[in-house]
Protein backbone atom coordinates (compact mmCIF):
# COMPACT_ATOMS: atom_id res chain seq x y z
CA UNK A 1 0.00 0.00 0.00
CA UNK A 2 1.11 3.57 -0.65
CA UNK A 3 2.44 5.64 2.20
CA UNK A 4 0.11 8.14 3.84
CA UNK A 5 0.73 11.75 4.82
CA UNK A 6 -1.48 14.17 6.72
CA UNK A 7 -1.68 17.92 6.03
CA UNK A 8 -3.23 20.11 8.73
CA UNK A 9 -3.78 23.78 7.97
CA UNK A 10 -3.52 26.02 11.03
CA UNK A 11 -4.41 29.67 11.44
CA UNK A 12 -4.60 31.02 15.00
CA UNK A 13 -5.95 27.68 16.20
CA UNK A 14 -3.06 25.89 17.86
CA UNK A 15 -5.23 24.32 20.55
CA UNK A 16 -7.33 22.35 18.06
CA UNK A 17 -4.32 21.57 15.90
CA UNK A 18 -2.35 20.19 18.84
CA UNK A 19 -5.32 18.09 19.98
CA UNK A 20 -5.68 16.61 16.48
CA UNK A 21 -1.97 15.86 16.15
CA UNK A 22 -1.76 14.22 19.56
CA UNK A 23 -4.77 12.04 18.76
CA UNK A 24 -3.38 10.70 15.46
CA UNK A 25 0.41 10.85 15.70
CA UNK A 26 0.68 7.25 16.92
CA UNK A 27 -1.46 5.88 14.08
CA UNK A 28 0.81 3.50 12.20
CA UNK A 29 -1.15 4.03 9.00
CA UNK A 30 0.02 7.68 8.89
CA UNK A 31 3.69 7.95 7.92
CA UNK A 32 4.17 11.72 8.06
CA UNK A 33 2.29 14.71 9.49
CA UNK A 34 2.88 18.21 8.21
CA UNK A 35 1.32 21.27 9.82
CA UNK A 36 1.13 24.34 7.60
CA UNK A 37 0.86 27.49 9.68
CA UNK A 38 -0.80 30.14 7.56
CA UNK A 39 1.08 33.07 9.09
CA UNK A 40 -0.82 32.98 12.38
CA UNK A 41 -0.96 36.28 14.24
CA UNK A 42 -1.10 34.71 17.70
CA UNK A 43 1.44 32.45 19.46
CA UNK A 44 0.42 29.37 17.43
CA UNK A 45 3.80 28.84 15.84
CA UNK A 46 5.67 28.81 19.16
CA UNK A 47 3.30 26.16 20.52
CA UNK A 48 3.29 24.07 17.33
CA UNK A 49 7.08 23.97 17.10
CA UNK A 50 7.11 22.00 20.35
CA UNK A 51 5.41 19.13 18.47
CA UNK A 52 8.09 18.80 15.82
CA UNK A 53 9.87 15.43 15.64
CA UNK A 54 10.84 12.84 13.01
CA UNK A 55 7.19 12.27 12.09
CA UNK A 56 5.81 15.78 12.53
CA UNK A 57 7.05 18.73 10.46
CA UNK A 58 6.03 22.39 10.61
CA UNK A 59 5.89 24.60 7.52
CA UNK A 60 5.47 28.33 8.00
CA UNK A 61 3.86 30.13 5.08
CA UNK A 62 5.65 33.38 4.21
CA UNK A 63 2.23 35.03 4.15
CA UNK A 64 -1.38 33.89 4.42
CA UNK A 65 -2.34 33.16 0.82
CA UNK A 66 -5.38 31.08 1.73
CA UNK A 67 -6.47 27.50 2.32
CA UNK A 68 -5.63 26.08 -1.11
CA UNK A 69 -2.12 27.55 -1.10
CA UNK A 70 -1.49 26.04 2.34
CA UNK A 71 -2.68 22.62 1.16
CA UNK A 72 -0.30 22.81 -1.79
CA UNK A 73 2.64 23.61 0.48
CA UNK A 74 1.91 20.58 2.62
CA UNK A 75 1.15 18.26 -0.31
CA UNK A 76 4.39 19.11 -2.13
CA UNK A 77 6.39 18.51 1.02
CA UNK A 78 4.76 15.08 1.44
CA UNK A 79 5.42 14.21 -2.19
CA UNK A 80 9.08 15.08 -1.69
CA UNK A 81 9.34 12.87 1.40
CA UNK A 82 6.94 10.02 0.59
CA UNK A 83 6.86 10.12 -3.23
CA UNK A 84 3.73 8.40 -4.56
CA UNK A 85 1.35 8.60 -1.60
CA UNK A 86 -2.13 9.29 -0.28
CA UNK A 87 -2.55 12.76 1.18
CA UNK A 88 -5.06 13.39 3.95
CA UNK A 89 -6.12 17.04 4.16
CA UNK A 90 -7.67 18.22 7.41
CA UNK A 91 -8.95 21.34 9.08
CA UNK A 92 -7.56 21.88 12.56
CA UNK A 93 -10.94 21.40 14.30
CA UNK A 94 -11.44 17.74 13.39
CA UNK A 95 -11.93 14.80 15.75
CA UNK A 96 -10.94 11.31 14.57
CA UNK A 97 -12.23 8.58 16.88
CA UNK A 98 -9.62 5.94 16.10
CA UNK A 99 -7.19 4.62 13.50
CA UNK A 100 -9.83 2.35 11.96
CA UNK A 101 -11.59 5.43 10.54
CA UNK A 102 -8.48 6.24 8.51
CA UNK A 103 -7.93 2.65 7.41
CA UNK A 104 -11.56 2.36 6.32
CA UNK A 105 -11.36 5.61 4.41
CA UNK A 106 -8.20 4.49 2.61
CA UNK A 107 -9.95 1.29 1.51
CA UNK A 108 -12.03 3.49 -0.81
CA UNK A 109 -9.09 3.51 -3.20
CA UNK A 110 -9.54 -0.23 -3.80
CA UNK A 111 -12.26 0.81 -6.23
CA UNK A 112 -11.05 1.68 -9.75
CA UNK A 113 -10.68 5.30 -10.85
CA UNK A 114 -11.12 6.81 -7.37
CA UNK A 115 -9.02 9.93 -6.87
CA UNK A 116 -10.49 11.38 -3.72
CA UNK A 117 -12.46 10.05 -0.75
CA UNK A 118 -14.20 11.61 2.23
CA UNK A 119 -15.80 10.11 5.34
CA UNK A 120 -19.23 11.10 6.53
CA UNK A 121 -18.69 14.27 8.56
CA UNK A 122 -20.67 14.89 11.74
CA UNK A 123 -21.24 18.61 12.18
CA UNK A 124 -23.79 20.57 14.19
CA UNK A 125 -25.91 17.49 14.85
CA UNK A 126 -26.05 16.38 11.20
CA UNK A 127 -23.97 14.30 8.80
CA UNK A 128 -22.45 15.98 5.73
CA UNK A 129 -22.05 13.89 2.58
CA UNK A 130 -20.78 16.26 -0.10
CA UNK A 131 -22.98 17.89 -2.74
CA UNK A 132 -23.81 18.20 -6.44
CA UNK A 133 -22.13 20.43 -8.97
CA UNK A 134 -24.61 22.92 -10.40
CA UNK A 135 -24.46 25.02 -13.54
CA UNK A 136 -24.23 28.81 -13.67
CA UNK A 137 -27.99 29.28 -14.13
CA UNK A 138 -28.77 27.21 -11.04
CA UNK A 139 -26.11 29.08 -9.08
CA UNK A 140 -27.73 32.35 -10.09
CA UNK A 141 -31.06 31.10 -8.77
CA UNK A 142 -29.38 30.23 -5.48
CA UNK A 143 -28.17 33.84 -5.25
CA UNK A 144 -31.75 35.13 -5.09
CA UNK A 145 -32.48 35.42 -1.34
CA UNK A 146 -36.01 33.94 -1.27
CA UNK A 147 -35.18 31.09 -3.65
CA UNK A 148 -31.95 30.43 -1.76
CA UNK A 149 -33.78 30.07 1.55
CA UNK A 150 -36.51 27.84 0.16
CA UNK A 151 -34.80 25.70 -2.45
CA UNK A 152 -30.99 25.84 -2.07
CA UNK A 153 -30.76 22.50 -0.26
CA UNK A 154 -32.95 20.78 -2.85
CA UNK A 155 -30.94 22.19 -5.73
CA UNK A 156 -27.53 21.39 -4.25
CA UNK A 157 -27.87 18.32 -2.04
CA UNK A 158 -28.40 14.69 -2.98
CA UNK A 159 -31.65 12.97 -2.07
CA UNK A 160 -31.23 10.86 1.10
CA UNK A 161 -32.07 7.71 -0.88
CA UNK A 162 -29.19 8.39 -3.29
CA UNK A 163 -26.60 7.10 -0.85
CA UNK A 164 -28.46 3.82 -0.55
CA UNK A 165 -27.21 2.79 -3.98
CA UNK A 166 -24.21 5.04 -4.77
CA UNK A 167 -21.12 6.36 -3.02
CA UNK A 168 -20.09 8.75 -5.81
CA UNK A 169 -20.39 12.49 -5.19
CA UNK A 170 -19.59 15.49 -7.37
CA UNK A 171 -18.07 17.59 -4.59
CA UNK A 172 -16.45 16.41 -1.38
CA UNK A 173 -16.67 18.38 1.87
CA UNK A 174 -13.22 19.95 2.17
CA UNK A 175 -12.73 19.86 5.94
CA UNK A 176 -11.34 16.28 5.78
CA UNK A 177 -10.54 14.16 2.74
CA UNK A 178 -7.90 11.91 1.16
CA UNK A 179 -6.51 12.43 -2.34
CA UNK A 180 -4.08 10.43 -4.46
CA UNK A 181 -0.89 12.51 -4.79
CA UNK A 182 -0.47 11.53 -8.45
CA UNK A 183 -3.91 12.85 -9.30
CA UNK A 184 -3.38 16.06 -7.34
CA UNK A 185 -0.17 16.64 -9.27
CA UNK A 186 -1.82 15.80 -12.61
CA UNK A 187 -4.49 18.50 -12.16
CA UNK A 188 -1.95 21.17 -11.21
CA UNK A 189 -2.68 21.02 -7.47
CA UNK A 190 -5.25 23.22 -5.76
CA UNK A 191 -6.08 26.52 -7.45
CA UNK A 192 -4.50 29.26 -5.34
CA UNK A 193 -6.54 32.08 -6.85
CA UNK A 194 -9.18 31.80 -4.14
CA UNK A 195 -8.31 32.75 -0.57
CA UNK A 196 -11.16 30.84 1.03
CA UNK A 197 -14.41 29.18 -0.14
CA UNK A 198 -15.16 27.32 -3.40
CA UNK A 199 -12.01 25.19 -3.12
CA UNK A 200 -14.16 22.05 -3.17
CA UNK A 201 -16.10 23.03 -6.28
CA UNK A 202 -12.93 23.99 -8.11
CA UNK A 203 -11.30 20.70 -7.14
CA UNK A 204 -14.38 18.83 -8.39
CA UNK A 205 -14.23 20.61 -11.75
CA UNK A 206 -10.52 19.81 -12.07
CA UNK A 207 -11.15 16.12 -11.35
CA UNK A 208 -13.84 16.05 -14.04
CA UNK A 209 -11.20 17.03 -16.62
CA UNK A 210 -9.19 13.86 -15.87
CA UNK A 211 -12.26 11.61 -15.49
CA UNK A 212 -11.55 10.72 -11.88
CA UNK A 213 -14.12 9.90 -9.19
CA UNK A 214 -14.86 11.42 -5.80
CA UNK A 215 -16.49 9.08 -3.28
CA UNK A 216 -17.85 9.09 0.23
CA UNK A 217 -17.11 6.17 2.52
CA UNK A 218 -20.08 5.93 4.87
CA UNK A 219 -18.27 3.41 7.07
CA UNK A 220 -15.72 6.06 8.07
CA UNK A 221 -16.64 9.02 10.23
CA UNK A 222 -15.05 12.17 11.64
CA UNK A 223 -16.46 15.06 13.66
CA UNK A 224 -16.06 18.65 12.54
CA UNK A 225 -16.29 20.90 15.59
CA UNK A 226 -16.68 23.92 13.29
CA UNK A 227 -15.89 26.50 15.96
CA UNK A 228 -17.33 29.75 14.72
CA UNK A 229 -17.13 33.10 16.49
CA UNK A 230 -19.61 35.83 15.67
CA UNK A 231 -16.87 38.37 15.01
CA UNK A 232 -17.16 42.08 14.38
CA UNK A 233 -19.21 43.78 11.71
CA UNK A 234 -16.04 44.37 9.73
CA UNK A 235 -15.08 40.68 9.84
CA UNK A 236 -18.55 39.66 8.65
CA UNK A 237 -18.29 42.03 5.71
CA UNK A 238 -14.78 40.78 4.93
CA UNK A 239 -15.97 37.17 5.01
CA UNK A 240 -18.82 38.05 2.66
CA UNK A 241 -16.44 39.80 0.25
CA UNK A 242 -14.01 36.86 0.28
CA UNK A 243 -16.84 34.40 -0.33
CA UNK A 244 -18.30 36.37 -3.23
CA UNK A 245 -14.95 37.02 -4.89
CA UNK A 246 -14.25 33.29 -4.78
CA UNK A 247 -17.67 32.62 -6.26
CA UNK A 248 -17.10 35.09 -9.10
CA UNK A 249 -13.73 33.49 -9.87
CA UNK A 250 -15.22 29.99 -9.87
CA UNK A 251 -18.19 30.90 -12.05
CA UNK A 252 -16.03 32.65 -14.64
CA UNK A 253 -13.10 30.22 -14.80
CA UNK A 254 -14.65 26.86 -13.98
CA UNK A 255 -18.42 27.03 -14.48
CA UNK A 256 -18.35 28.64 -17.95
CA UNK A 257 -20.59 31.54 -16.96
CA UNK A 258 -21.37 33.93 -19.82
CA UNK A 259 -20.77 37.68 -19.61
CA UNK A 260 -24.49 38.25 -18.99
CA UNK A 261 -24.48 35.68 -16.21
CA UNK A 262 -21.36 37.25 -14.68
CA UNK A 263 -23.09 40.63 -14.74
CA UNK A 264 -25.98 39.20 -12.72
CA UNK A 265 -23.59 37.52 -10.29
CA UNK A 266 -21.95 40.89 -9.68
CA UNK A 267 -25.32 42.60 -9.25
CA UNK A 268 -26.34 40.01 -6.64
CA UNK A 269 -22.94 40.48 -4.98
CA UNK A 270 -23.48 44.21 -4.46
CA UNK A 271 -27.14 43.88 -3.49
CA UNK A 272 -26.12 41.28 -0.92
CA UNK A 273 -23.35 43.50 0.40
CA UNK A 274 -25.78 46.40 0.77
CA UNK A 275 -28.27 44.16 2.57
CA UNK A 276 -25.57 42.90 4.96
CA UNK A 277 -24.44 46.44 5.78
CA UNK A 278 -28.04 47.50 6.50
CA UNK A 279 -28.57 44.42 8.68
CA UNK A 280 -25.40 45.07 10.68
CA UNK A 281 -26.25 48.77 11.04
CA UNK A 282 -29.73 47.99 12.37
CA UNK A 283 -28.42 45.34 14.76
CA UNK A 284 -26.00 47.91 16.21
CA UNK A 285 -28.70 50.56 16.31
CA UNK A 286 -31.18 48.45 18.29
CA UNK A 287 -28.75 46.79 20.72
Do 193 and 254 reside in the same domain of the chain? no
Q: How far apart are CA 26 and CA 213, in angstroms?
A: 30
Do 104 and 153 reside in the same domain of the chain? yes
Consecutive sets of 10 residues in the chain, 287 residues long: mean pLDDT of each? 95 94 97 95 92 96 91 98 97 96 97 96 92 96 82 86 92 96 97 96 97 96 73 74 97 97 96 91 80
Strand, coil or helix: what is 269? helix
Quote the distance between the C-alpha of residue 2 and its chain's center.
23
Do 137 and 257 reside in the same domain of the chain? no
**Closest by CA position to 73, among listed 53, 57, 50, 54:** 57
Other Cβ atoms less than 10 A from the Cβ of 44: the count is: 23
Do 174 and 277 reside in the same domain of the chain? no
Do 12 and 104 reside in the same domain of the chain? yes
Question: How many separate domains does the chain show?
Answer: 2
Parallel, antiparallel, or unpaired: how do β-strands 126-128 and 114-123 relate? antiparallel
**Closest by CA position to 89, among listed 174, 24, 32:** 174
Contact 87, 187 (CB under 8 A): no
Strand, coil or helix: what is 220? strand
Q: How far apart are CA 205 and CA 110, in angstroms?
A: 23
Which of 224, 248, 270 is the endpoint of a domain? 224
Do 33 and 11 reside in the same domain of the chain? yes
Do 242 and 211 reside in the same domain of the chain? no
Taken in order 249, 252, 257, 261, the sign of the CA dihedral is positive
DSSP lists the bridge partners of residue 85 as: 3
Residue 226: per-residue pLDDT:
75
Q: List, in order, residues 6 or more apart from 157 with CB less than 8 Å away.
A: 131, 132
Strand, coil or helix: what is 12? coil
Which of 192, 224, 256 is the endpoint of a domain? 224
Q: How far apart are CA 57 and CA 5, in angstroms?
A: 11
Residue 284: per-residue pLDDT:
80
Do 168 and 259 reside in the same domain of the chain? no
Do 238 and 199 reside in the same domain of the chain? no
Q: How far apart are CA 106 and CA 71, in angstroms?
A: 19
Parent domain of 274 = 233-285
Residue 169: per-residue pLDDT:
97
Q: List, in order, residues 6 or more apart from 59 with CB less than 8 Å away.
A: 34, 35, 36, 37, 73, 74, 77
Do 157 and 135 reside in the same domain of the chain? yes
Q: How far apart are CA 201 and CA 247, in angstroms?
A: 10
Do 190 and 217 reside in the same domain of the chain? yes
Q: How far apart are CA 128 and CA 223, in angstroms?
A: 10
Do 166 and 257 reside in the same domain of the chain? no
First to last CA, the chain: 59
DSSP lists the bridge partners of residue 9 as: 36
CATH of residue 38: 3.90.550.10
Amino acid sequence: MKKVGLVIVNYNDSENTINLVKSVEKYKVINKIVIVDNKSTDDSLKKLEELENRKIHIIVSDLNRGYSAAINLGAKYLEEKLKDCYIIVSNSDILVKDEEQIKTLLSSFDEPNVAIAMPKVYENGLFKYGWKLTNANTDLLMNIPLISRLYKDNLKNYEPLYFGYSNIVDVIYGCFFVIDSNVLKSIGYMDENTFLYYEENILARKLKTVNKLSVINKEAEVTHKHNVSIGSSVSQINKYNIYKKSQLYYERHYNNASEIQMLFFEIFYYFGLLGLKVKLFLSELFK
